């Protein structure tokens, strides 16, 4: 089996979290997959090196540990990531924010984090960009950083968070510009790293009215091929393809996927290495990539000269651990 883990900390306690994941794999005698490896928050960027070193050491000791990542220096989750977990417990967040005494207590914790939680964005609210607004009156803030929204509202950033959450009364998708581009480049070069999106797939025809999303939904793989392979030469084309295909399939035990080989399913992408590129941005994410001409899924062409012919040959894919009924 494989223990796929969203490790306990991606910030101040990154190295300790890595130790924990390695120890779980060791004791359970299973492979370990670290889900979207990152060091979040500028003060924590230097922790990536010791975290990588710990993985390398574990691998040298015979522990099967690898990781995946997305090629962006920004993550995506909810706006509540800036709020301490205890304030959200038992689904009482909105109730607590309406209570003046509790609101003041939560605010103090956000301004001076205790260290018992990740406190995403609390040390740099200018790195936080809420995008998932549903109320019309809040959509004017899409594309603005939290500090810009606060200035426009005449509030400090914490009260802005509280009032936006109370206004929406639901999850507000948020971009956190919390990672280092240098770390992204370094991670891409590691032989045991795989490329992933950490996001769903969208079609602009139906997704545009839903509002902004993280551009990784559209541009992850073409960004690697265009920016990091062709333009910056961070890794070779062959290595990039391996990290997107066979390495992923092999890790999940999909023995008949991920290779151009007789007897495997024909999942094929025909692209132009000279032009392939992502177009999705944080400001305008619903943009399809360029340079991809044809795509086959299970041997059936689903993209022909950049156009979808209407075929839908997709099927459920299961690993070797699936029990047959």
**Residue 75 and residue 65: Cα distance in Å, rounded?**
23
**Residue 216 and residue 74: Cα distance in Å, rounded?**
10
Residue bearing tokens 């995403």 = 120
DSSP state of 271: E
- Burial tier of 325 (Cβ tally within 10 Å: 0-12, 13-18, 19+): exposed
Q: CB-side exposure of 166: number of CA atoms within 13 Å?
A: 13
Can you give the residue ranges of every domain in the chain? 2-73+178-259, 76-175
8 Å CB contact between 71 and 195: yes
Give the three-state DSSP class for 286.
coil
pLDDT for position 114: 75
Count CB neighbours of 127 within 10 A: 20
8 Å CB contact between 65 and 55: yes
pLDDT for position 35: 96
H or E element: which one contains 202?
none
**Token reading at 258:** 């991920």
| Residue-level pLDDT, tens digit, the chain, 325 residues | 899 999 999 999 999 999 999 999 999 999 999 999 999 999 999 999 999 999 999 999 999 999 999 999 999 999 999 999 999 999 999 999 999 999 999 999 999 887 778 877 777 999 999 999 999 999 999 999 999 999 999 999 999 999 999 999 999 999 999 999 999 999 999 999 999 999 999 999 999 998 999 999 999 999 999 999 999 999 999 999 999 999 999 999 999 999 999 999 999 999 999 999 999 999 999 999 999 999 999 999 999 999 999 999 999 998 888 877 6
Give the CATH fold of the 2-73+178-259 domain: TIM Barrel (3.20.20)
CA distances to 9, 39, 66, 132, 211 from 249, rounded to whole Å, are 26, 26, 13, 32, 32
**Token reading at 227:** 């920016």
**Residue 36 and residue 41: Cα distance in Å, rounded?**
15
pLDDT for position 235: 98
Model confidence, pTM: 0.93
**Residue 255 and residue 268: Cα distance in Å, rounded?**
16
CA distances to 99, 277, 287 from 202, rounded to whole Å, are 39, 17, 10
pLDDT for position 325: 67
């Amino acid at each position: 089996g494989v223990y796929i883990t969203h490790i306990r900390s991606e910030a101040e306690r990154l190295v300790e979290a890595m130790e924990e994941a390695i120890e779980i794999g060791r004791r359970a005698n299973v492979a370990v997959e670290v889900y979207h490896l990152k060091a979040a928050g500028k003060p924590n960027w230097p922790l990536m090196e010791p975290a990588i070193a710990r993985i390398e050491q574990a691998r040298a000791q015979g522990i099967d540990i690898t990781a995946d990542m997305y090629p962006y220096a920004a993550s995506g989750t909810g706006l509540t990531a800036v709020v301490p977990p205890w304030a959200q417990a038992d689904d009482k967040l909105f109730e607590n924010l309406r209570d003046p005494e509790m609101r003041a207590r939560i605010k103090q914790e956000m301004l001076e984090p205790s260290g018992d939680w990740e406190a995403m964005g609390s040390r740099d609210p200018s790195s936080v960009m809420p995008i998932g607004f549903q109320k019309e009156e809040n959509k004017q803030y899409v594309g603005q950083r939290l500090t810009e929204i606060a200035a426009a509202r005449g509030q400090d950033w914490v009260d802005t968070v509280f009032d936006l959450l109370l206004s929406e009364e639901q999850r507000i998708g948020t971009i956190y510009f919390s990672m280092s581009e240098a770390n992204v480049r370094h991670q891409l070069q590691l032989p045991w790293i795989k490329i992933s999106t950490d996001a769903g797939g969208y079609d602009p025809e139906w997704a545009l009215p839903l509002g902004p999303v993280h551009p990784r939904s559209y541009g992850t793989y073409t960004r690697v091929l265009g920016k990091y392979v062709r333009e910056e030469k961070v890794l070779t084309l062959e290595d990039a393809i391996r990290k997107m295909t066979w390495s992923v399939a092999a890790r999940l035990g999909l023995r008949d996927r991920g290779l151009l080989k007789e007897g495997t399913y024909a999942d094929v992408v025909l692209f132009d290495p000279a032009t392939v590129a992502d177009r999705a941005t944080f400001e305008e994410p619903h943009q399809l990539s360029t340079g991809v001409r044809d795509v086959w899924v299970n041997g059936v062409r689903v993209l022909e000269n950049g156009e979808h012919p209407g075929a839908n040959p997709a099927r459920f894919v299961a690993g070797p651990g699936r029990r047959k009924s």
